[in-house]
Amino acid sequence: MTSPLAQGHTGWSALVLAGSRPKGDALAAHFGVSAKALIDFDGLPMLSHVLKALHATPAVRQIMVIAQNTDALLDAVEQGGGAVLRQSSAGISSSIAELAGTSGLPFPILVTTADHPLLEADLLSAFITDAGDADVAVGMVERSILIERYPSNKRTWLKFADGYWSGANLFALQSVKCLPALELWSRAEQDRKTAWKLFLHFGPWLAVRALTRTIGLGEALRQAGNRLGLKARLVPLATPEAAIDVDKPDDHRQALEIRLNRKQSNQT
């Protein structure tokens, strides 16, 4: 599938979500920092690692970071190679909707999060290519891919006919048609970890099929997109580390071990 970059776009915008929870983040408090994005990871804040991966991705032409307290992130952004910092509004979806398609964040847009320090340019490039011509694409990892490499890893799985899936915090937004999806997501976000509740927002029949696992995730996303008048696509990711973001101390320990093993392998 041809990527939008090859279709004449000048490149992708990247948006990094680096905000904090309204009541504070327990993991940030655990590590003694003001924001999760600032947690140290092999000598640099997690946000810096994400920015370095984005800067190394050929299709990415500009990067924006949004957070409630942008001043706290200035050093981390500089250490990561730089980005435009913008203050976020009340919710994630509304913040993205306000910026998407503006001169500061033109389409197509790659969205990811600051708590994903294992991101690498090869993974990001593969996701961008496989997003194809979808208005909205979602990167996910099927359980067998992750468990084969990291059997002790614990994730929340969305269970469908075509497998058990975990999010990778990777999204492609490629046209203004994504805006209704963002509006709906602002209402559905609390249900994101329960398949049938999530798809109930697209109608009872789709929710029943998700509950009974008589539909695959790829087809469910396609049908959900049709309900919103857009083309939605599942992008299955073959890289198990794509599913390993840092939400708990155990995640941090495992991700850091993976990072150090990578560095050791690159030195041999």
> pLDDT by residue (tens digit) across 52-68?
999 999 999 999 999 99
Q: Where are the domains of the chain?
A: 12-252
Q: Residue 85 carries which side chain, given as an amino acid letter?
A: L
Q: How far apart are CA 19 and CA 21, in angstroms?
A: 7
Choose the CATH number for 12-252 among 1.10.3290.10, 3.90.550.10, 3.20.20.80, 1.10.287.810: 3.90.550.10
**Considering the entire predicted model, what is its pTM?**
0.90
Q: What is the pLDDT of residues 170-204, one digit of tens each?
A: 999 999 999 888 877 666 555 455 555 666 555 56
Is 110:136 a contact under the CB 8 Å cutoff? no
Write the pLDDT tens digit of every residue in 63-110.
Answer: 999 999 999 999 999 999 999 999 998 778 889 999 999 999 999 999
CA distances from 17 to 145, 176, 229 (A): 26, 20, 26
